A = this chain, B = another copy of it.
Amino acid sequence: MFYSPAQAAEKTGFSIDTLRYYEKIGLLDRIDRTAAGRRRFSSDDVGFLGVLRCLRDTGMPIAEMQRYAELARGGAETVGERVAVLETHDERIDRQIETLRAQQQHLRDKIRYYRDSFDVE
């Protein structure tokens, strides 16, 4: 199963420009081409992009994703390091959620204060 750039973009939620950019900076391995020079994304490529999607959506910087991508190219002996990267990131996500929740609570208190003091609606 192969995917055109448009299909890969559709599947992964990245724009075609972003896919090209990711390849250019080495975040993606060189993507296979058709005879005409067009990209042909494999299922594995799309699967890897799915992981990148998770990492981006949870705020991992590109530089760190590059490190992860490099490890992924390294074969089975890098699995331990990959897991370490993901677990560190997992903890970061916990902290992010915690920050969001705490600040959300402050804002809710503020809303309540406005409601109580000014009788909104």
Contacts and interface: CB of A to CB of B under 8 A. Distances in A.
A90 B118 contact: no
A54 interface: yes
Nearest to A94: B104
A75 to B, nearest CB: 11
B86 A110 contact: yes
Taking residues whose C-beta sits less than 8 angstroms from the other chain, chain A's interface range is: 35 or more
A105 to B, nearest CB: 9
A22 to B, nearest CB: 18
Most buried by B among A58, A87, A89, A99: A58
Contacts of A50: 106
Interface in A74-91: 76, 79-80, 82-83, 86-87, 89-90
A17 interface: no
A83 B114 contact: yes
B103 A100 contact: no
A88 B39 CA distance: 41
Interface of A: 50-51, 53-55, 57-58, 76, 79-80, 82-83, 86-87, 89-90, 93-94, 96-97, 99-101, 103-104, 106-108, 110-111, 114-115, 118, 120-121
